[in-house]
Structure 1
Amino acid sequence: MPHPLALLLLPFAWLYAAVLGVRNWLYDKGIKETARFAVPVISVGNLRAGGTGKTPHVAWLVRQLQAAGQQPAILSRGYGRQTRGYIEADAAATAATIGDEPLQHYQDFRGQVPVVVCENRRTGLENLLRQEPAPSVVVLDDAYQHRRVQPTLNILLTEQQRPFYQDYVLPAGRLRESRVGARRADVVVVTKCESLLNAAQQAAITAWVRRYTRPRVLVLFSTYAYGAPVAVGGTGQVGSPEIVLLTGIAQPGPLLDYLTGAGYQIVHHAAFADHHAFTAADIAAVAKQLQPGQSVFTTQKDAVRLLEPALQAAVAALPIFYIPIQVEFLADGAAQLQQLLSSLFQPHAVV
């Protein structure tokens, strides 16, 4: 059952869901046009607003495509940027010009993978595919509700701790559309799982997911592998296990659990909203919390915003480190998804 306050908001949620339901029906019936493209288009998104792990899963997909000999590109709307229109990331890009997640992708792949932002994914794809050389596959970051493009493969992410099938549509819950939207998914990935999630638990979650998806849709399970701290904006080593944590992400819980389990003592957590644009005052407030020998830990997504030109001097003066993460699939999930990706490049393949 929803929270008592959410119960009061359910009529508004039903109205919102109905409006989105009509919109989806218009696309499903072909009344509103959906564009298809000659190259495979892989969409990664969610039903729940924020925090399901889209960025590291997009990175995982791109690495698999590279390993298979493809030339992938990433297309995002560039949420939180201060610009509009079609922009391709380059060495001068900042979080303000393209958004923090696209900038993270650009830095992760060292500019070797085209990263493009455009609020209209159809326009973005058309422009991207005119480039020479054109990509052989495009990964759409956070495009599950962008119906103007028909993806070749539609990947839906949902967290183990906050699954879509236990949530409600905004404003009563955090769903961007009703649970039946899961029927558009070709694959569902349950993210941020406990690494020891057993087969019986996976089967129970799969049964719940398949109440809303098409029959026999592939349901996979992934977890995070955390790396050693990386210095932000300079060099240095972590001193005391006592740390100040700085986050501007939707779901810092898994990072908190990891750091506590790894033996760190979080003496202060400066928690901001997702995609928060850090200011000099924010950095100064964090600096006041630091004691000799302590370090500031943050996420990689936050780190790209901390390196905005106006903040670089203040950040360089502090021992700030980000914790890198990589996606790992449970059981044979990686092999199953790799096989599905390979099928996209076979003649007349149907997902």
Structure 2
Amino acid sequence: MKNLLLRTWLTRGWLARLLWPLAQLHGLAVRLRRALYRCGMLESCRFGLPVIVVGNVVAGGAGKTPLVMALVRHLQAQGLQVGVVSRGYGRSGHESLEVRVGTPVAQSGDEPALIKRATSAPVFVAKKRTDAVRRLLAAYPSTAVVVCDDGLQHYALQRDVEIAVFDDRGVGNGWLLPAGPLREPWPERRQQGLDLVLHTGLKPAFEGFTSGRQLADHAIAADGSQIALTALQDRSLVALAGIANPEAFFAMLRARGLVLEQTLSLPDHHDFGADDLAACAGKTVLCTEKDAVKLFGKPGLASLQLLAVPLVFSPEPAFFAALDALLAPLLSQLPSGHGYQTA
């Protein structure tokens, strides 16, 4: 939450104007780097199968990991073998590894762990996403499609479909970091290989597809049992979230008629310690699924009732139709129409 507030502060007023020269240098560096990949001076790899990259043009979370899970389920429903790769932000090591259900979250990162549990797809993490793809294909040679969680700016991995996710912030003040929230120039980036734009907020700032985001009708305990949210409406609850925008989670809980006695806003990818839940003894605590992959394995949960509330993420049908149209020729082994070719 502190990082989100800092980014909001930086995008407003005199400080943003003060940092504008640095933003201009950032823009030059971004354009130069892209040009070096396109001309082959920086190496990039193609792996001979469709690669979908899901990411953000703005700093901070906007819903890319829920979209990755929705994409994987959509492709699995078509009978396709799908693999997922990620850097595994916040994990303790840099080695390339397969994320399994029992892999400690400290080794995998919270988002890869959540994707694995939610989809059962093969998930590999590595400091370099190209290394993760190599490990994935070596272990699962029948993989038909690779979905990359984040990595829109990781041009070392050539891609066939690029998807950018935006929330209600849109592009903010339209300036690059550090004067604004943009990682890359906009709308210039939209004309340079970006295939699909998905808005996850209530008020899309510009043209693109939309997705619904709402909480499920139930919460899940560590043992897998479920309890209806309506059964929690007469309780005083504590809610915590270690995500990019905790207040959005709290607002959705309140919209379901839940009374939040206390809310705990924590930094995105927060590494929970023994003291984080000490003050919640004897209470019912609600968290996100992303937090739950770390918290459910913590000792001391017997002193409280910890429940994860799933997010139902529903891109509009037209989005999936557009995706399928892009993938059809690739899956038929026709040449890709774009990418970061080196030859």
Whether the 8 Å CA contact 1:156–1:187 is kept in 2: the answer is: yes
Alignment of 1:92-103 (within 5 A): 92-103=102-113
Name 1:130's counterpart in structure 2.
Answer: 138
Whether the 8 Å CA contact 2:49–2:330 is kept in 1: the answer is: no
Offset at residue 270 of structure 1 (A) = 0.7
Q: Percent identity, aligned pairs only?
A: 34
Whether the 8 Å CA contact 2:124–2:135 is kept in 1: the answer is: no
Name 2:288's counterpart in structure 1.
Answer: 299
Name 1:146's counterpart in structure 2.
Answer: 154
Of 215, 218, 221 in structure 2, the residue corresponding to residue 226 of structure 1 is 215
Of 13, 16, 33 in structure 1, the residue corresponding to residue 43 of structure 2 is 33
Of 277, 284, 303 in structure 1, the residue corresponding to residue 278 of structure 2 is 284
Name 1:189's counterpart in structure 2.
Answer: 198
Q: Secondary structure at the match of 2:27?
A: helix
Offset at residue 241 of structure 1 (A) = 4.1
What is the aligned length?
320
Name 1:45's counterpart in structure 2.
Answer: 55
Alignment of 1:311-330 (within 5 A): 311=298, 313-330=299-316
Question: Deviations 1:234-264 (Å, cap 9, x if unpaired)?
Answer: 4574543432110100012332222222111
Name 1:173's counterpart in structure 2.
Answer: 180
Offset at residue 273 of structure 1 (A) = 0.6
Whether the 8 Å CA contact 1:17–1:178 is kept in 2: the answer is: yes
Name 2:169's counterpart in structure 1.
Answer: 162
Name 1:211's counterpart in structure 2.
Answer: none
Name 1:243's counterpart in structure 2.
Answer: 237
Question: Deviations 1:152-210 (Å, cap 9, x if unpaired)?
Answer: 11111111x1112644222222222322333331111112336xxxxxxx6x721xxxx
Name 1:6's counterpart in structure 2.
Answer: 16
- Return the alpha-carbon distance in structure 1 between the equivalents of residues 235 and 256 of structure 2: 10
Whether the 8 Å CA contact 1:64–1:338 is kept in 2: the answer is: no
User: Which structure ranks higher in relative contact order (CA pairs < 8 Å, sequence separation ≥ 6)?
Assistant: 2
- Return the alpha-carbon distance in structure 2 between the equivalents of residues 274 and 73 of structure 1: 25
Q: Secondary structure at the match of 2:177?
A: coil
Whether the 8 Å CA contact 1:232–1:321 is kept in 2: the answer is: yes
Whether the 8 Å CA contact 1:54–1:141 is kept in 2: the answer is: yes
Q: If the length of structure 2 is used for normalisation, what is the TM-score? A: 0.86
Offset at residue 304 of structure 1 (A) = 0.8
Of 112, 116, 122 in structure 1, the residue corresponding to residue 124 of structure 2 is 116
Q: Secondary structure at the match of 1:184?
A: coil
Name 1:253's counterpart in structure 2.
Answer: 247
- Return the alpha-carbon distance in structure 2 between the equivalents of residues 327 and 340 of structure 1: 21
* Residue identity matched to 2:278: A
- Return the alpha-carbon distance in structure 1 between the equivalents of residues 218 and 275 of structure 2: 24
Name 1:84's counterpart in structure 2.
Answer: 94
Whether the 8 Å CA contact 1:233–1:316 is kept in 2: the answer is: no
Offset at residue 232 of structure 1 (A) = 3.4
Whether the 8 Å CA contact 1:241–1:263 is kept in 2: the answer is: no
Q: Secondary structure at the match of 1:164?
A: coil
- Return the alpha-carbon distance in structure 2 between the equivalents of residues 142 and 12 of structure 1: 24
Q: If the length of structure 1 is used for normalisation, what is the TM-score? A: 0.84
- Return the alpha-carbon distance in structure 1 between the equivalents of residues 35 and 333 of structure 2: 30
Question: Deviations 1:2-37 (Å, cap 9, x if unpaired)?
Answer: 433222222222222322222122113332222112
* Higher mean C-alpha displacement, 230-239 vs 150-159: 230-239
- Return the alpha-carbon distance in structure 2 between the equivalents of residues 88 and 205 of structure 1: 38
Q: Secondary structure at the match of 2:206?
A: helix
Offset at residue 331 of structure 1 (A) = 6.3
Q: CA separation of 1:338/1:225 partners in 2, compared to 1, >3 Å: closer, same or farther?
A: farther
